[in-house]
Amino acid sequence: MIRSTLFVCTLFMAASGFASAQATVRVEPANLQSPRPLPEQTQTAAIRDYLKSWQSLRAALEQNRSDLLDPAFVGTARNKLAETIQQQAALGIRTRYQDSAHDIQIVFYSPEGLSIELIDRVEYDVQVFDHDRVNPIQHISARYVIVLTPAEVRWRVRVFQAALK
């Protein structure tokens, strides 16, 4: 199991070509509550696309450009992040998010195959820029609940929400 987890980690780091190259990724064995088996290929694709969504999120919030969210986010998650970007832009604020570690576990694959839910214990840094003022970097450790849904060629994040640990 450890070997396979390590393999998956290596795979993700290699496949996603991280902009956040330092981020370490650990994938726990899936703990599914649904009857539908999760093919390894699907699991790999879903996690790869989720990790890539952090790159989109980072660029979008740093540049205050909601269009950068489109490849990776959809529905509620996209709307909420776009709203955040709009608020940032209105206040003259930018934020820089940098993920450094992910500990991912898939917890639900809906029976009809239209959604995958995963829990990510993620560590990331956030820094707030208000016009010329640079606020200090804050390190955050949080538990995120993610719901991914399939699009034409990839999985997109539909729910992206930090939850209480």
Partner 1 sequence: MSNGRQLAALLAAATAALVVIGTVWPAPSAAAYAGAKSLLGSSSTAEAAVGNLGDEIRAQAWGKAYAGLANKAQFTQPEFVHDLTGYYPSLLTYTTLDKFEVRPLHASADEAEIELKLHWATVVGSSVSIRDLHVIRNGDRWEPEWPIVKEPIVPPQVLPVNYLRWDVIYSGAGDDWGAQNVEAPHVRIVDMHPVERADGVVILGELLNEDVVPAYVSVAATLLSKNQSPIATEGSFDKISHLLLPKQVTPFLIKFPNVSLSSVGSVRMTPMSALIAASADPVIEIENEQLHPAPGASLTGQLINQSGQIVNVAHVLGTFYNQAGLVVWVADEYIDTALLPQNPVPFEIHIPEDLAKNVSSQRTVIATYSSGGSQ
Partner 2 sequence: MRTRPLIFLTTMALAMLQPVAAQESSLTLPKTVEAGSAFSIHIAGSGKAALYIVGLGQVLKRDVEAGGTAFFPAGSLYNAGHYLAVLAGNSSTETVSFDVVPATKPAELSFLAKPSRLPVGLHDGITGAVYVFDAYHNLIYAPTPVSFELTSPSGAVQKHVVATRDGAAWTAMDSTAQQGMDRFLARVDEISNARVIGQVPGDPCGLKMSARQSGQAILLATDPVRDCNGNAVPDGTIVTFTEAYSGGQSTVDVPLKHGIAEARMAGHSGATISVASGVVVGNQIRWEK
What's phi and psi for 75, nearest 5 deg?
65, -135
> Which residue in the set 6, 91, 114, 162 belongs to the binding site for partner 1 (CB under 8 A)?
114
What Å distances lie between residue 114 and 28, 46, 57, 111, CA to CA?
22, 12, 23, 8
Segment interacting with partner 2, rule: CB under 8 A, options 13-21, 22-30, 41-49, 126-134 = 126-134
Dist CA 146 CA 105 (whole Å): 10
Any idea what the Cα angle at residue 71 is, between residues 19 and 17, rounded to 5°?
Answer: 25
Residue whose C-alpha is closest to residue 44's, from 25, 59, 71? 25
Work out what residue 104 binds among partner 2, partner 1, none; the CB cut-off runs from 5 to 8 Å by kind: none
Q: In this structure, what token pair is assigned to residue 139?
A: 């390190």
Dist CA 70 CA 66 (whole Å): 8
Work out what residue 74 binds among partner 1, partner 2, none; the CB cut-off runs from 5 to 8 Å by kind: partner 1
Binding mask 139-158 for partner 1 (x = CB under 8 A): ----------x--------x
Residues that bind partner 1 (CB under 8 A): 74-75, 114-115, 149, 158
Q: Which residues bind partner 2 (CB under 8 A)?
A: 33-35, 57, 61, 76, 79-81, 83-84, 87-88, 91, 93, 95, 97, 107-108, 110-112, 114-115, 117, 119, 126-128, 130, 133-138, 140, 142, 145, 147, 159-164
